């Protein structure tokens, strides 16, 4: 549509501007203290010492493990809870279905930040401060997830459901033997989305973790930053690079998938 | 309503017709309840109960454990109306929304349009453009904290090449909110781009082809085909970006801690500080109610005015 000799340079310039901060962080993580203080952009010599120091100064491996556990649990929990709800809204005609669906959707209008004070008090009462439960269970039910899966389940022809009943398949068997496998792509989309958002969550882990045992990697970065800022920018950036690699990998692998799945959910 | 009898209940058919018809009539309702139970319980405990509790707490003064101690009616809200610090917070939040939302959308739309061209190696650019979606708020903020560093940060180094005086990005009250906005726009780009690109790819190619045969210019096609056909996606992404802007927290916490002179004390940071640093759960809850109404108004306005201009296929 546009001349490609116009588009290529534009694409190049935009890419450089956009990913410069990430590359810059990577370069800084390879420099020693002196070079950083000179305000260099490209490292003259490469050192890995910052990475070793980052692991020494905060228990980064423990944090990475915690983040992994938390993100995986939320992903699985969310997929189970949302897919059950979405299945019910599509295939089971029950009294008040529209009203219940409306109530589900209305939760999307309540910002998490507006309810965080009582939620924090609830978690405290349940004794879930510094526990995986406190970091995961509040995020299992997701109206957006239910909505997205409902859009995809609707594509499954109702005849398939009727045929499965004639064949004597129970509702639950129909759900996990037919609906789930058929909707694999949308489940993967929602799963990747859930994993990314949980991995990157900041405010809630900040509130409900006060020691290293379950603290996630995002809070680890903040800790690293407050500890090392005065002296060691290289160490802080090494920490940042370690933390963003899993999320970026997941994004690059699932980019096409995410784009397709999320757009479909948004406009149908 | 269609009655569904599944395997286990088939055996009961000869037993009692009356009982069966009741059981099978309510079977769907009971199954639905069972399947929806996890969602209902979780929404009740972590969404609806805390929403009511927030309203309740906003009428009280609380002790250090967050227990309501003294009923004060609407005094917390009166306090907010008079509080200069809260005025600043609202002003900062609205300015922040104004700075970030339009620029985020326009930037991402531009990127999506140039990345929608069918060229060799376009996949690489698409991946690069969406990369900030994988960046967490903590990682992004720490990187920008360094970029904004007054003496060794890349931005001021770059400015010095053009002989522009160094800017105290995060310390100067007139620049701090702009710095936070720049960080946020950068972070928004990935997700917004991905959604808009998806929207562009859903537009029927034939529309462009027939327009080209008629000799339509690039801008004509943009105005008459792209924007109208993209409007549902634009509508969706504007709402999401607006709501996200009201919920901003991490950038503020890492870059400025609400300062200097409260110029970046965005509403969620203000709630956080009031509740978890000053232990004033009552006034913090009142602020949370204000936040809730902000988002409610945005959603309603979007649906009311956005809907009319949206062109559905």
Within 8 A of A207 by CB-CB distance, chain B residues are 276
B83-309 CATH: 1.10.3720.10
Tell me the three-class secondary structure of A18-53, residue by residue. HHHHHHHHHHHHCCCHHHHHCCCCCCCCCCCHHHHH
pLDDT digits (tens, 9 = 90+) for A17-30: 999 999 999 999 99
Chain B (42-81) residues lying within 8 Å, Cβ to Cβ, of chain A: 42-43, 45-51, 53-54, 57, 66
- The pLDDT value given to residue B6: 46
Cα–Cα distance, A21 to B143 (Å, whole number): 7
Nearest residue to B90 (alpha-carbon basis) of B286, B306, B278: B286
Q: Is residue B291 very low, low, confident or very high in pLDDT (cuts 50, 70, 90)?
A: very high
**Under an 8 A CB cutoff, do B138 and A219 touch?**
yes
Nearest CB to B47; choose among A2, A4, A115: A115
Chain B (220-279) residues lying within 8 Å, Cβ to Cβ, of chain A: 221, 232-233, 236-237, 243, 246-247, 249-250, 253-254, 268, 271-272, 275-276
Architecture of the domain delimited by A60-267: Orthogonal Bundle (1.10)
Q: Half-sphere exposure of A4 toward its Cβ, with a 13 Å CA cutoff?
A: 6
Q: How close does chain B come to A44, measured CA to CA in Å?
A: 16
Chain B (162-201) residues lying within 8 Å, Cβ to Cβ, of chain A: 186, 189, 194-195, 197-199, 201
**Chain B contact present for A202, CB below 8 A:** yes
- The pLDDT value given to residue A21: 94
Nearest CA in chain A to B152: A39
Nearest CB to A87; choose among B35, B275, B299: B35
pLDDT at residue A81 tops 90: yes
More confident: B77 or A185? B77
For chain B, the domains span 7-43, 83-309
Cα–Cα distance, B141 to A218 (Å, whole number): 11
Q: How close does chain A come to B44, measured CA to CA in Å?
A: 10
For chain A, the domains span 1-47, 60-267
pLDDT digits (tens, 9 = 90+) for B60-93: 988 877 788 888 888 889 999 999 999 999 999 9
Q: What is the mean pLDDT of chain B?
A: 86
Q: What number is the ipTM of this complex?
A: 0.87
Q: How close does chain B come to A217, measured CA to CA in Å?
A: 9
DSSP one-letter string for chain A = ---HHHHHHHHHHHHHHHHHHHHHHHHHHTS-HHHHHTT-SS-SS---HHHHHHHHHS-HHHHHHHHHHHHHHHHHHHHHHHHHHHHHHHH---TTHHHHHHHHHHGGGS-GGGSHHHHHHHHHHTT-TTSHHHHHGGGS--HHHHHHHHHHHTTS-HHHHHHHHHTT--HHHHIIIIIHHHTHHHHHHHHHHHHHHHHT--HHHHHH--STTT--HHHHHHHHHHHHTTT-HHHHHHHHHHHHHHHHHHHHHHHHHHHHHHHHHHH-
pLDDT digits (tens, 9 = 90+) for A191-241: 988 998 899 899 999 999 988 889 999 999 998 888 876 668 889 999 999
């Amino acid at each position: 549509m546009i001349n490609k000799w116009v588009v290529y340079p534009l694409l190049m310039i935009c890419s450089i501007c956009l990913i410069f901060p990430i590359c810059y962080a990577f370069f800084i993580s390879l420099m020693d203290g002196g070079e950083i203080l000179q305000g260099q952009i490209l490292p003259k010599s490469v050192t890995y010492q910052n990475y070793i120091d980052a692991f020494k100064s905060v228990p980064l491996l423990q944090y990475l493990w915690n983040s992994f556990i938390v993100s995986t649990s939320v992903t699985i929990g969310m997929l189970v809870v949302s897919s059950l709800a979405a299945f019910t809204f599509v295939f089971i005609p029950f009294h008040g279905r529209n009203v219940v669906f409306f109530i589900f959707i209305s939760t999307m209008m309540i910002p998490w930040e507006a309810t965080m004070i009582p939620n924090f008090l609830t978690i405290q009462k349940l004794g879930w401060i510094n526990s995986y439960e406190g970091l995961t269970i509040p995020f299992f039910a997701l109206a957006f997830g239910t909505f997205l899966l409902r859009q995809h389940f609707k594509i499954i022809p109702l005849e398939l459901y009727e045929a499965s009943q004639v064949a004597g398949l129970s509702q639950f068997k129909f759900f996990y033997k037919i609906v789930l496998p058929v909707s694999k792509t949308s489940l993967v989309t929602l799963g990747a989305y859930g994993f990314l958002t949980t991995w990157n969550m900041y405010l809630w882990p900040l509130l409900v973790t006060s020691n290293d045992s379950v603290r996630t990697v995002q809070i680890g970065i903040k800790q690293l930053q407050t500890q090392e800022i005065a002296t060691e920018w290289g160490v802080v950036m090494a920490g940042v690079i370690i933390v963003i690699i899993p999320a970026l990998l997941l994004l690059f692998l699932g980019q096409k998938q995410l784009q397709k799945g999320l757009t479909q959910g948004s406009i149908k | 309503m269609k009655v569904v009898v599944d395997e286990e209940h088939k055996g009961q058919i000869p037993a009692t017709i009356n009982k069966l018809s009741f059981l099978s009539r309510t079977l769907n309702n009971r199954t639905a309840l069972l399947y929806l139970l996890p969602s209902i319980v979780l929404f009740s405990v972590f969404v609806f109960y805390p929403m009511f509790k927030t309203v309740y707490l906003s009428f009280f003064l609380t002790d250090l454990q967050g227990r309501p101690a003294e009923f004060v009616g609407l005094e917390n809200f009166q306090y907010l109306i008079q509080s200069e610090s809260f005025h600043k917070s609202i002003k900062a939040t609205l300015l922040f929304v104004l700075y970030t939302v339009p620029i985020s959308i326009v930037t991402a739309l531009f990127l999506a349009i140039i990345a929608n061209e069918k060229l060799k190696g376009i996949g690489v650019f698409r991946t690069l453009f969406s990369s900030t979606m994988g960046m967490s708020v903590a990682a992004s903020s720490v990187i920008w904290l360094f970029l904004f560093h007054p003496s060794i940060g890349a931005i001021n180094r770059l400015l010095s090449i053009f002989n522009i005086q160094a800017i105290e990005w995060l310390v100067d009250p007139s620049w701090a909110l702009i710095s936070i906005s720049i960080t946020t726009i950068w972070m928004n780009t990935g997700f917004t781009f991905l959604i808009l690109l998806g929207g562009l790819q859903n537009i029927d190619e034939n529309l462009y082809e027939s327009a080209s045969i008629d000799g339509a210019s690039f801008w004509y096609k943009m105005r008459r085909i792209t924007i109208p056909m993209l409007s549902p996606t634009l509508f969706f992404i504007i709402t999401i970006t607006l709501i996200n802007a009201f919920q901003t927290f991490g950038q503020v916490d890492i870059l400025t801690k609400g300062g200097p002179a409260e110029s970046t004390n965005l509403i969620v940071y203000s709630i956080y500080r009031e509740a978890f640093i000053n232990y004033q759960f009552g006034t913090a809850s009142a602020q949370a109610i204000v936040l809730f109404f902000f988002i409610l108004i945005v959603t309603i306005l979007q649906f009311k005015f956005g809907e009319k201009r949206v062109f559905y296929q």
